[in-house]
Amino acid sequence: MSSADIRDMLDLPSQVPSAGRPPPAKRIKTDGKKLDGIHRELHNLLGENTHAVTVMQNKFKEKPNWMQKPSPWVWTKFKNQARKDDLELYHWVRGTPTNDEYPFAKFDKQVDVPTFSKEEYDKGLADTAWTPRETDYLFDLCREYDLRWLVIQDRYDYEPEENEPPSIRTLEDLKERYYFCCRKLMELRRDASGVDWTPRDLELYNGMNFNKDKEIMRKQYLERLLSRSPTEIAEEERLILEYRRLQESSKKLVQDREELLRLLESPQTANSFTQYQSPQGLSQLAGNILASDKNRRRKGVPEPAAQGGPVARAVPGTPNSGAHAQAVAQAQQAHVAGVQNGVHGMKQTQQTGRPSAQAAPAVSKVELAQSVTAKKVVKRVPPGEENLYGISYHDKLVQGVHLRSTRISTLKPTVQTKVASILAELGIAPKLAMPTAKVCERYEALQQAINLLIETKKQADKLDHEVKVLTSANA
């Protein structure tokens, strides 16, 4: 029994006429082909959208095309251009044979071994230990075996003549003789032609400077290195590890030293100085200083010079250095006594409510700060000699690095243009070539004087115009 029969039995209207019911949505068939390299769940998430990247893994080799026509191979003859006997050989060539150059002939590289004449030998190559015949034999072997010295030494079998003494040549003897003759030939031919040495020739000439003694010493060192026992090798490795450890310790020591110097040169404090800017803070600071001084005196520790203020040292060779040091010491004692009396008076005033009879007069905030932190006795150079020693005094230093020429004061744009024109008439450049302190000072004074003259001329012109107006009105 369907729902329509039940509605008919209960006299209920039908839900939707069958004729007006919309057709069910057609289910789109997805491609059931399984893709290699991608999971089924991930492929279902794509839905109707075609994935942008197709993952294809070629697991097998492509099937060979047996129906393709094979390429022909031809048995053909060839000549090797590196050979001088015109020998003809045969080999298989793919495709149509051509008469091109043999491809492996370009690898036949010959070493350029020089030749010499009898005159050149007599002029610069003669040696008592070598004969011309043996020298020619050596050069022929070098030319034949392309300067492969181990092969040359192995094939070296010179048979001396009856009047020649027999000789045994080592590898170092052969190298020394060959390179000596090559250098001498370059010198003789360069002097005969009169042509200057090129960089390439100089490099080749310096590269043939063979030192027989150093070569023998190098081989001896190498033999010693290869003939070491296991105990010696272990000892050398231990020494190398110790050397590396010492290097690391030295680097760490240098880093610690630099860090310590950095901390000493630029100390940084985490405390704030705002608590010492008020009179109560200054009083507390002075009390702490006096308490530390009393504790130091009780323990018998000598007072450092830095606590009482900067110590002035007499410069050797300067006039009245002893008198100056004595005056500085007296000034420091008076300064410390004044500060102590002032602080003691402040304490007594705070305790009793009235000033002490022995206390010093009341000290202002600025004077107390100057006496505690900023008052120093410094030896100055006599007046008039600052320029001689290159010394200058500044009331206030600007933070950071700057050029002195950038600190020159500028005027208004309209006035600056007039000043620049007057400076051009005087032959003075707008930019200073040597902006020293004195030059910049004179330059600013000149600018101010020119500005004053311009203002004076302006006022004079104004008064002249007013006089002319009044004169014309009275006439």
Write the pLDDT tens digit of every residue in 73-98. 999 999 998 888 889 999 999 888 88
Rounded CA separation 365/361 (Å) = 13
CB-CB contact of 170 with 216 (8 Å): no
Q: What is the DSSP letter of 353?
A: S
- Give the DSSP H/E element, type plus range, for residue 265: helix 230-265
Q: What's the confidence (pLDDT) of residue 298?
A: 73
Predicted confidence at residue 250, as pLDDT, reads 92
Q: Give CA–CA dist 44/254, Å, rounded.
A: 66
Whether residue 312 contacts residue 328, with contact meaning beta carbons closer than 8 Å, is answered with: yes
**Maximum C-alpha span of the chain:** 149
**DSSP secondary structure letters along 172-241:** HHHHHHHHHHHHHHHHHHHHHHTPPPPHHHHHHHHHT---HHHHHHHHHHHHHHHT--HHHHHHHHHHHH
Which residues are within 8 A (CB) of 158 and not within 5 positions of it... i.e. 6 or more apart?
134, 137, 138, 167, 169
Mean pLDDT per 10-residue run, the chain (475 residues)? 79 64 61 64 72 64 80 90 88 85 87 90 89 92 93 92 84 94 91 87 90 94 93 94 94 88 66 70 80 75 45 40 46 50 46 44 50 49 69 72 81 87 88 85 90 91 89 80
Q: What is the pLDDT of residue 17?
A: 54
Q: Which of these, 111, 109, 120, 110, lies nearest to 183 by C-alpha position? A: 120
C-alpha–C-alpha distance, residues 296 and 303, integer Å: 7
Q: Count other C-beta atoms under 10 Å from residue 37's C-beta.
A: 8
- Cβ-contact 450, 423 below 8 angstroms: yes
pTM: 0.39
